[in-house]
Amino acid sequence: MSNRAKTARFMRIAAVAASAIANCFSVPVPKADELPPVLDIAPKIEAACTDSRFEVGQAVQGLVRNVWRSFAFIDIGAERDARLELSEFEDGFPGRSLKAVLYEHYTVQSRVLEVAAGGAIWLTRRSGSLIRPPRLHKEDENRAPEALQGLPSDIWLDGQVGDFLPTGVFVHVRDPGNGQKPLLGFLPASLFRPGFEKEAMRGKRIKVKKEGFNPGKGLLLTMRQT
């Protein structure tokens, strides 16, 4: 048998073998009406609540996410966790850390106090008015040691209550000799005048005196007569 004849015979045998293998392993393709129905198993995605849904005065309920001494983060369904500060936890001065009364996943009832342009939300559990003074930043305050140390201690000064700590409140004081920026001082609870613990709130205007100055701790204030 010539080489050409041998090659032709081999090609015929290979073709037959390939056809047999294909028939053994081929999978019939069903028609369209024979296919099973497509199951609707895709997860349903609900649009997240945007901060525009929340407005000042709105009653909300949320779960505590994280707790610090003077503020807690609350999940109310907004894009960002809302903040509940110690100064807004209850009427008056709490006199305790938020960690003493709140814990993670605790349910909190509150009202929306402020909605910032950047999406931040502040809450309050206080009753009554929601009017608060604008929040001051470090650049809005005079913390220069020489200004704090030079403040006279023999006169009553006009102050406005700021943030709370478990041990007292920060107060912005107007320096009679320099009224450009308020001085930042701290009024410990032990130097409150009688009854102030029931009235204390951010923005309240009070009269204070300089009690002392410590370069490491800053300006110390008092409401008591010396």
Q: Is the pLDDT of residue 52 over 90?
A: no
Task: Report the pLDDT value the prediction gives residue 170, as an integer from 0 to 100.
Answer: 95
d(CA 55, CA 146): 43
Buried b (16+ CB within 10 A) or exposed e, 188-203: ebebbeeebeeebbbe
Please tell me the predicted confidence (pLDDT) of residue 69. Answer: 87
Amino acid (1-letter code) at residue 49: C
Pairwise CA distance, residues 55 & 114, whole Å: 8
Give start and end residues of each alpha helix (H) in the chain: 3-25, 145-149
Q: Is the pTM of this model over 0.75?
A: no
Confidence of residue 64 (pLDDT cuts 50, 70, 90): very high
In the predicted model, what is the mean pLDDT of residues 113-126?
A: 93
Burial class (CB in 10 A: 0-12, 13-18, 19+), 110: buried
Contact 175, 193 (CB under 8 A): no
- Tell me what pLDDT residue 53 has: 87
**In this predicted structure, which of 45-54, 74-83, 129-138, 196-205 has the lowest mean pLDDT?**
45-54
DSSP character at residue 69: S
Is residue 3 predicted with pLDDT exceeding 70?
A: no
| Residue 118 pLDDT | 84
Q: Return phi, psi of residue 101, to 5°.
A: -125, -15
The token duo for 197 is 């613990």
| Residue whose entry in the numeric block shows the structure tokens 């929340």 | 54
Stretch 208-213: mean pLDDT, rounded?
A: 95
Give the span between the Cα atoms of 165 and 60, in whole angstroms: 25
Residue % of the chain over a pLDDT of 90: 57
